[in-house]
Structure 1
Amino acid sequence: MKIMICGSDGQLGWDCIRVFGADNEIFSFNRTQLDISDSHAVEDTVARVMPQVLINCAAFTHVDRCETEKETAFKINTLGPHHLAKACARHRATLVHVSTDYVFDGNRELPLAWSESDAPHPVSVYGQSKLEGEQKLATVWEDHIIVRTAWLYGAHGNNFLKTMLRLTLANPEKEFKVVDDQYGSPTWSLRLALQMERLVKEEGRGIYHATSEGYCSWYELAVFFLKKMDVPHNLIPCTTAQYPTPTARPFNSILENKRLKQENIHRMTGWRHGVEQFVSRFRNELLEAARLEIQ
């Protein structure tokens, strides 16, 4: 089967190439090779490749920059999926599109999670642009899978875990404040790619939530990760108010994988298990990369 992957230079795109590439013919494009906000480039590329499945991992995910670069955010996160959906409709390809927990406002008491049937209510430009991308593609092409996920980390690209490792190694005696009152489900991009593969094989359609099981705070995640990495640290918990950001972050980003379970195609594991497996597989590479960055 021919599979086209957009956003191949990101952590999820990188893992999708490896997972889907085991049994399929892969055509991958990074942001330089294909700008999904360019409708003509999208149409020309899809017409040339003629994939059976198109996986879109491309997005403008910098939450704070989305607030100041709104035009770019909506071009990539809203118009991009729309262009891809139109091209997929013309050439009869299944569109798999990755979305986010930021389509919800995050205002829900713990341990309640957000399911696919909950009404979205984004409170940031990033969340609004991603929601409108979902809506536009759904109106254009019914043969689609929208996968909402959250708190991604992986071996390739930048993420929270790599940042915490680099900061801790660079300043072993320094105290670092980490937010302890925002909650979500840390999700390994490789595990998500495997879940997406299952969705494609089982011909899922519509919106699915796919994150690790269970939840934690950013502080709890950082401490657990560094412990598994066997790296001493001086992390201290703080509140969101003590660590302000230009854009408000959700208090509760916990997604419920309701449809995956209902359809008996659930492959996600607990978040601790995911981090443990990630460290077991990549510990040496992560340490080497972090040390090279701080030299």
Structure 2
Amino acid sequence: MKILITGSTGQLGSDCRWVLGVRHELIPLPEETLDITDRRAVMAAVRRHRPDLILNCAAFTAVDAAEVERERAYQVNVLGPRNLAEAAARQGARLVHLSTDYVFGGDRTPPRPYIEEDEPGPVSHYGRTKLLGEQAVREVLSDSVIVRTSWLYGIHGQNFLKTMLRLARRRPPQPLRVVHDQFGSLTWSYRLAEQLAKLIEADGRGLYHATAEGVCTWYEAAAAFLELMGVEHTLIPITTAEFPTPAVRPRNSILENRRLKEADLNLMRPWREDLARFAARHRETLLTQTAPPGG
């Protein structure tokens, strides 16, 4: 299968290149090469490469920045996916589009999860643009695949876990205040790439949730990761109210992989299991990436 990957050098796109490249012909297009908000460029790229499937890993994912760069977030998260859907429809290609847990408002009590049939209700501009992006894709290409995931981390790019590791290694050491009343599913980008490959090869269609199994808070995720990395730390659990941010975050954005399980396609593992594998596999690289100034 010939697969065109947008955002191919990002956190998820990089892992998708690694996983899918073993069995498929890839056309990796980083954001510097293809701006998905440029409709003419998107049409030309798809016409030139003639892919069987487009995997959209390009997105504006800076939740707080989206509150300021509202138009740019809208262009990347709404107009971009629409452009890709129109190009896929014209080419006769399939489209797999990535979305987020932040399309939900988080008003239900943890650990009760959201399933694919639940009504979205985003509370941030980022979440609203991602929901509008889903709708734009479905309007153009009714048999597209939309995959919602959450709390991604991986070896490529920046993420919450790398930030925690870098801050914990500062000298002199300082206590870290971490939110302990937001609940979600910490998801390894490499595992998600494997899940996407499984879904693509099974010719899945429609809306799916794909996150790690189990539930944690940001505080629990940070504590588990730093312990696995053997880094001494002092973490202080705090409330969301004690850590105000420009964007409102849902208190509960736990997703249940209901449709993957019903189709016997679920590859997602418990979050602690994947976190341990990630730390063991990438320990030296992570320590190098987060080394304090002066070693």
Which amino acid letter does the alignment assign opposite residue 193 of structure 1?
Answer: A
Q: Is the 8 A contact 2:10 2:57 kept in 1?
A: yes
Deviation, 1:172, is: 5.2
1:198-243 Cα offsets, whole Å, 9 max, x none, are: 1011111010000000010000000000000111111111111111
Residue 104 of structure 1 corresponds to: 104
Residue 270 of structure 1 corresponds to: 270
Q: Is the 8 A contact 2:169 2:292 kept in 1?
A: no
Which amino acid letter does the alignment assign opposite residue 280 of structure 1?
Answer: A
CA pair 239-252 structure 1, distance change in 2 beyond 3 A: same
Matched, 1:258 2:285: no
Q: TM-score, normalised by structure 2?
A: 0.98
Q: TM-score, normalised by structure 1?
A: 0.98
Which amino acid letter does the alignment assign opposite residue 253 of structure 2?
Answer: S
1:132-153 Cα offsets, whole Å, 9 max, x none, are: 1100111111231100000000
Which amino acid letter does the alignment assign opposite residue 246 of structure 2?
Answer: P
**Structure 1 runs (4+) greater than 2 angstroms displaced:** 292-295
For structure 1, the 5+ residue unaligned runs are none
1:120 aligned counterpart, secondary structure: coil
Residue 281 of structure 2 corresponds to: 281
Deviation, 1:170, is: 1.7
Structure 1 segment 199-214 matched on structure 2, within 5 A? 199-214=199-214
Deviation, 1:9, is: 1.7
Deviation, 1:39, is: 0.3
Structure 1 segment 87-102 matched on structure 2, within 5 A? 87-102=87-102
CA pair 223-48 structure 1, distance change in 2 beyond 3 A: same
Deviation, 1:293, is: 6.5
Residue 66 of structure 1 corresponds to: 66
1:37 aligned counterpart, secondary structure: coil
Which amino acid letter does the alignment assign opposite residue 64 of structure 1?
Answer: D
Q: Is the 8 A contact 1:93 1:143 kept in 2?
A: no
Structure 1 segment 1-295 matched on structure 2, within 5 A? 1-171=1-171, 173-291=173-291
Aligned length: 295
For structure 2, the 5+ residue unaligned runs are none
Deviation, 1:86, is: 0.2
Which amino acid letter does the alignment assign opposite residue 214 of structure 2?
Answer: G
* Whole-angstrom distance in 2 between the partners of 1:154 and 1:143: 29
Percent identical:
52
Q: Is the 8 A contact 2:123 2:249 kept in 1?
A: no
Please report the RMSD computed on the Cα atoms of aligned residues, expressed in angstroms.
1.1
Which amino acid letter does the alignment assign opposite residue 285 of structure 1?
Answer: T
1:61 aligned counterpart, secondary structure: coil
